[in-house]
Chain A
Amino acid sequence: MIGGLFIYNHKGEVLISRVYRDDIGRNAVDAFRVNVIHARQQVRSPVTNIARTSFFHIKRSNIWLAAVTKQNVNAAMVFEFLYKMCDVMSAYFGKISEENIKNNFVLIYELLDEILDFGYPQNSETGALKTFITQQGIKGQPQTKEEQSQITSQVTGQIGWRREGIKYRRNELFLDVLESVNLLMSPQGQVLSAHVSGRVVMKSYLSGMPECKFGMNDKIVIDKQGKGGTTDDPGKSGKQSIAIDDCTFHQCVRLSKFDSERSISFIPPDGEYELMRYRTTKDIILPFRVIPLVREVGRTKLEVKVVIKSNFKPSLLAQKIEVRIPTPLNTSGVQVICMKGKAKYKASENAIVWKIKRMAGMKESQISAEIELLPTNDKKKWARPPISMNFEVPFAPSGLKVRYLKVFESKLNYSDHDVIKWVRYIGRSGIYETRC
């Protein structure tokens, strides 16, 4: 289990230090700083072992969060906890920055006491936490006994993530399918690896204790129904269904039901939360194709031509497109010509950055650049790092579709039809690279 938790700023100064177990001493704080933060080579592994002590760290902008343990813990659990903690903190005070952490250190210690007990993670649901850890402090009116007992029963009860008696005039819910598509492609256009990791994020403003049911075009479910005989055309349904490699759910989802019937039913928390996470690797729609052409002219010149093609319905518009073409380390000058968007050589990043605001589907655009090089002493050849790309498209590259989201509330008198539902798909680029 987690023995301690430390938060450092970029210089390695300790901002927050909370030790849960005796086997973690003060020196652990310094060990991490010396061996990881101050290490000349950037430590690339998120798990570091120093003197029989394991350090799990994540970085949020300039802030290091490190969990320490001497035991053989489940590393995935520790990272899940760290991410959850970041979520909780940002829900409380916004961006995680040195300034914010310093200003809220009392709150953070309070939160740490609550969400980690003797190193065992506890309820880290923001909604539930906010009922009893408030930022205002106890001023004037203390909570009534009833309120207190309500909090106790909620936190210790079966449904710890939602309190009773919530009322809204308008019952509304928002569903976002957010996906990031990762790709590595060879110069010849062969896909070397590709996968989509997606999240279904929900924002619910529903009264009472509603029971929800979520349906999507999961291949297993569709096939089952197909067998049941409701769909006549298995080919059609097969085409539109997707194979999900793995998925995880928010704690509110009834896993037993998912296991037996593969239906996703739950009582949603109030406000924003992440309903599920999933990953697919098959039949991914790649929104863009990058065709690089690099020619070395002598020792002091390099010619680069890059073509990008959009590969989706012409009616849709991709946004925030950015192509990053790495340049050799001995570049001394760059001339760029592009038809669309703006391109610039950024010396500080050793790359040509080409930005296009909007681009419709089934279009093509190109950039060409001449790079002048300075002859150097060492004969090290340029490693030719891949060309990477960023974009945002209004569909799910995995092909996931939300089929339904039903809401049942038996006690209060509103039905599924009265709830206003919004669904949105956003596909973003993860690590989207093409070798050149």
Chain B
Amino acid sequence: MPAVSKGDGMRGLAVFISDIRNCKSKEAEIKRINKELANIRSKFKGDKALDGYSKKKYVCKLLFIFLLGHDIDFGHMEAVNLLSSNKYTEKQIGYLFISVLVNSNSELIRLINNAIKNDLSSRNPTFMCLALHCIANVGSREMAEAFAGEIPRILVAGDTMDSVKQSAALCLLRLYKTSPDLVLMGEWTSRVVHLLNDQHMGVVTAAISLITCLSQKNPDEFKTCVSLAVSRLSRIVSSASTDLQDYTYYFVPAPWLSCKLLRLLQCYPPPEDGAVKGRLVECLETILNKAQEPPKSKKVQHSNAKNAILFEAISLIIHYDSEPNLLVRACNQLGQFLQHRETNLRYLALESMCTLASSEFSHEAVKTHIETVINALKTERDVSVRQRAADLLYAMCDRSNAKQIVAEMLSYLETADYSIREEMVLKVAILAEKYAVDYSWYVDTILNLIRIAGDYVSEEVWYRVIQIVINRDDVQGYAAKTVFEALQAPACHENMVKVGGYILGEFGNLIAGDPRSSPLVQFNLLHSKFHLCSVPTRALLLSAYIKFINLFPETKSTIQEVLRSDSQIRNSDVELQQRAVEYLKLSSIASTDVLATVLEEMPPFPERESSILAKLKKKKGPGAVSVNELEEGKREGGELNGGGERGGDSSAIAASNASTPSPSADLLGLRAGPPVTAAAPSAGSLLVDVFSEAGINDDGFLRDLEPTTESSDSLLAEGPGDSDSAPPSVVSEDPTPLPESDELLNKFVCKNNGVLFENQLLQIGIKSEYRQNLGRIYLFYGNKTSVQFVTFTTTVTCPGELQSQLNVQSKPVEPLIEGGAQVQQVINIECLTDFSDAPLLNIKFRYGGALQNLTLKLPVTINKFFQPTEMASHDFFQRWKQLSQPQQEAQKIFKASHAMDTEVLKAKLLGLGMALLENVDPNPENFVCAGVIQSKAQQVGSLLRLEPNAQAQSGEQMYRLTVRSSKDTVSKRLCELLAEQF
């Protein structure tokens, strides 16, 4: 871009800018600007037409003022006028103003686009370039809409100048990045690829950026570029440093182009054509060879350019991962860099080696550098390089060197930078687990880890230790011993206390024989840490104590004393208080048998791989795990890792915290006596377990204990003086539907109107209509008594995930129903996506002072949203075949519960909402139906086939029902629903 030359200089502008620069204060600057703006306004307003020069000058000033941070709301028109000037400088300033201050004012945009179009179609290359630059600088959607079609034409036209081609390629790249949908592929794509053969290196460089970006989205369309790129690359690589003249940078021929070519090749698998591949391998070898040559210049630019190409080449080699020879050579080359003076090179070498380590061909070669890497970890000054070294160590670790590497990492951890400690800890934990042959070594390592860097040990790590200790009988005793010893340190980390509490609580008996670690000593040791710990840990310790009571009856009185102390039983933290109270009661009331059952040793966890490992396995051997992946793995670890959830104290506590009022609510629920089994939370079902002494359930340690807290509550409820522990003020909000409501639901699968519910007080009638994905239900509440119902309220709720599947709106109903009267309620339903549950209708009212509360399922089932589809036999079977994947089909064979009456069956199937197709099935006995379920999110087509068998072998009447639909959940649900109907 030619600078404003002296002869063309805008004196006014220069003076103005120097005035502004000389302003002493902000106020003075604003004053000067206001004055200038007024001047420009009067000039623009003036009757005299301005010449191009002054227009340019004033637009320039406006631009300057705008860049100083002031609003400019005029002058756009003048700038647009400048676009049509024939002078380069004027046009340039016009474009500059437009690209800085463009706003989507419709009339102006039209003018601007017009001007750009004119310039694009002009034969003047400078003007074309200016226009292209403006399009790229603005890069808005509007620009893409207007010019996405034009630019490819310019790009591939034979007579376009080279410089314009460059600009066009980059401009198109920019538009493609902002709005890829508007840049349509066409016949130009193939011609773009041929730009790689262009004479002009600049065009090739620009084009290759575009091609790389495009080929990432549509690799197939640009496949041909591979061979072209290879030949271009080989021409560059084999050229002497003087051949390319302008494109030689410090004796390196076209380094940018080479890098881009190598990067483009990384988008594709190795070329299949032997000749091309041979040529490419030759190129790569040449590059590796050149790296060995003595440098042609001492300048840093020379080595930078050379190394850039080298690293790109190595990435390509790693990407192909098929040339053992090249991989090993690359590894050796990187090995040289590991001790290079340049920090950046060391960093890059370590980083590339990480990826090399994951290749089976070069893994061994990488391992030879272990000493250097360990040295780098210890002595490197730059923390980011140290981190890469740690990554590489992790990546090169295998069974043979695991002990060495883990030991090195552990010893480094003591001095490690805080920013990488957590990651290091995680890596040590993973390696220790993965390559543990001897589990006592594993336990030692992890305990050491907690000792050295306790703060950085995430929950998952200690969950995992516990999981492994519990699952391996052989290490339990050793673990208990080591933990006991570790706890004797005067200051131990809270995570250590957690592990210690858990393990001693489970396996303390294994070391109780030794008088130095007798039960009481163990307990006192644990309890000495109690006061220093946070609430979750204390809760865990309390659970350990109650386990102690079970393990060592002789400690019972001591522990009860502790539990009884004010600091526990009246603790301000509700969780601790509850545990203390419940454990105390449990220990004093329950018999030893009950205790032994409740507090039995944890069952082994089902052997599940830690998710981090699973992730690593996928990568073929020990892979390099980047920070991100690790973090991801960690997160997944929290979810999937068996130890994570089950040993997880915190998760259990979180769950119990989330439902803090639940114990009392459940308690009430128990009193009211609804069926515990139905929808009560897990605690309910566990209660049954405890009462029936049906052995332990295989839930986690704390889950195991958690129910006992509930049970002690219920024990309390039976005992006297319970009122203070659980004030029965919370009314159970738990909407447990009536047990018969499922039957009621089934009644309405095939019909829309009828009596939904009836007892001696109340009758509920229902009338419903459905259209598309919308439905409307009229509920009629009839008072069968002669006394009025007061505070009559109904609520409709969608439990669980149904909330996101159905949209239910109910109008409020009158709170008073006179004796013998009837009120109506309208409920609107919108089906968002397919669902399987039914919404719950909760009805509350007072009848003669007594609160009545009942919950029903609203008969809204997925089939209500069917739209019948008529089709011919041919169509039906074609579609039937299309839905042939196993998960799309659901089948059920069941006994008939009603007589097989063809007419009744037909009526039922019609009531289902699908179209009953006659003369489709070859067997006239069979029924086939077709329909589409309409939901807001999608439409699910479903086909059904019902085959009655009146004389089955056993003499009973059987049906075979097959449902196929495009969504598996729908097929299943339909099948379930229908099986009950016939």
Contacts and interface: CB of A to CB of B under 8 A. Distances in A.
Contact of B24 (A62, A349, A350): A62
A10 B44 CA distance: 35
Interface string B19-48: 000001110000110110111011011000
Contacts of A374: 41, 44-45, 74
6 contacts: A10-B25, A332-B38, A350-B38, A376-B74, A377-B74, A377-B103
Contacts of B108: 377
A378 B31 CA distance: 23
A351 to B, nearest CB: 10
B106 to A, nearest CB: 11
Interface string A352-394: 0000000000000000000010111110100000000000000
A377 B108 CA distance: 10
Given A374-B44, A377-B103, A349 B31 contact: yes
A40 to B, nearest CB: 7
A62 B28 CA distance: 11
A187 to B, nearest CB: 25
A97 to B, nearest CB: 11
Nearest to B41: A332
A62 B26 CA distance: 10
A331 B35 CA distance: 11
Contact of A347 (B34, B73, B76, B103): B34
B38 A347 contact: yes
Given A348-B31, A348-B35, A10 B45 contact: no
A330 B35 contact: no
B74 A333 contact: no
A413 interface: no
Given A331-B41, A376-B74, A377-B73, A348 B32 contact: yes
A332 B44 contact: yes
A371 B23 CA distance: 29
A42 interface: yes
B25 A62 contact: yes
A10 B24 contact: yes
Contact of A40 (B34, B41, B69): B69
A330 B73 contact: yes
A348 B73 CA distance: 17
Interface residues of A, number: 20
A345 B74 CA distance: 21
B31 to A, nearest CB: 4
A379 B325 CA distance: 71
A331 B42 CA distance: 8
A374 B105 CA distance: 18
A357 B37 CA distance: 30
A378 B73 contact: yes
B449 to A, nearest CB: 37
Contacts, number: 51
Contact of B38 (A331, A375, A378): A331
B41 A330 contact: yes
Given A348-B34, A349-B31, 4 more contacts: A332-B41, A332-B44, A347-B34, A372-B45
B70 to A, nearest CB: 10
Contacts of B35: 347-348
Contacts of A329: 37, 73
A380 B71 CA distance: 12
7 interchain residue pairs of minimum CB distance: A347-B38, A332-B45, A348-B35, A348-B31, A332-B41, A376-B73, A10-B25
Interface in A325-352: 329-333, 347-350
B191 to A, nearest CB: 42
B interface, over-half SS? helix
A372 to B, nearest CB: 6
Interface of B: 24-26, 31-32, 34-35, 37-39, 41-42, 44-45, 69, 73-74, 76, 103, 105, 108
B722 to A, nearest CB: 49
A378 B42 CA distance: 18
A374 B25 CA distance: 29
A110 B38 CA distance: 48
A374 B73 CA distance: 10
A33 to B, nearest CB: 14
A interface, over-half SS? loop
A380 B73 CA distance: 10
A359 B31 CA distance: 30
Contact of A332 (B24, B42, B103): B42
B74 A330 contact: yes
A377 B105 contact: yes
A370 to B, nearest CB: 13
Contacts of A62: 24-25
A10, A377, A378 interface centre (most CB from chain B within 10 Å): A377
Contacts of A372: 45
Interface in A1-57: 10, 40, 42
A378 B104 CA distance: 12
Nearest to B45: A332
A281 to B, nearest CB: 32
Contacts of B34: 347-350
Nearest to B42: A332
Interface in A268-307: none
B549 to A, nearest CB: 50
A377 B44 CA distance: 14
A333, A348, A372 interface centre (most CB from chain B within 10 Å): A348
Given A347-B34, A348-B34, A349-B34, A333 B76 contact: no
Contacts of A348: 31-32, 34-35, 38
B35, B103, B108 interface centre (most CB from chain A within 10 Å): B35
A40 B31 CA distance: 16
Contacts of A380: 73
A347 B74 CA distance: 16
A332, A372, A378 interface centre (most CB from chain B within 10 Å): A332
Contacts of A349: 31, 34
Contacts of A333: 42, 45
Contacts of A330: 41, 73-74
A374 B37 CA distance: 11
Interface string A385-406: 0000000000000000000000
A189 to B, nearest CB: 31
B193 to A, nearest CB: 44
Contacts of A331: 38, 41
A376 B105 CA distance: 12
Nearest to A372: B45
B817 to A, nearest CB: 58
B285 to A, nearest CB: 56
A111 to B, nearest CB: 26
A329, A330, A350, A374 interface centre (most CB from chain B within 10 Å): A374
A330 B73 CA distance: 9
A378 B108 CA distance: 13
A350 B105 CA distance: 27
Contacts of B24: 10, 62
Contacts of A42: 26
A372 B74 CA distance: 15
Contacts of B38: 331-332, 347-348, 350
Contacts of B76: 377
Contacts of A350: 34, 38
A255 B42 CA distance: 62
B26 A10 contact: yes
Contacts of B25: 10, 62
Nearest to B38: A347
A347 B26 contact: no
A322 to B, nearest CB: 17
A55 B103 CA distance: 40
A221 B67 CA distance: 62
Interface in A114-131: none
Nearest to A375: B74
Contact of B39 (A40, A347, A375, A378): A347
A188 B45 CA distance: 34
A347 B34 CA distance: 6
B26 to A, nearest CB: 7
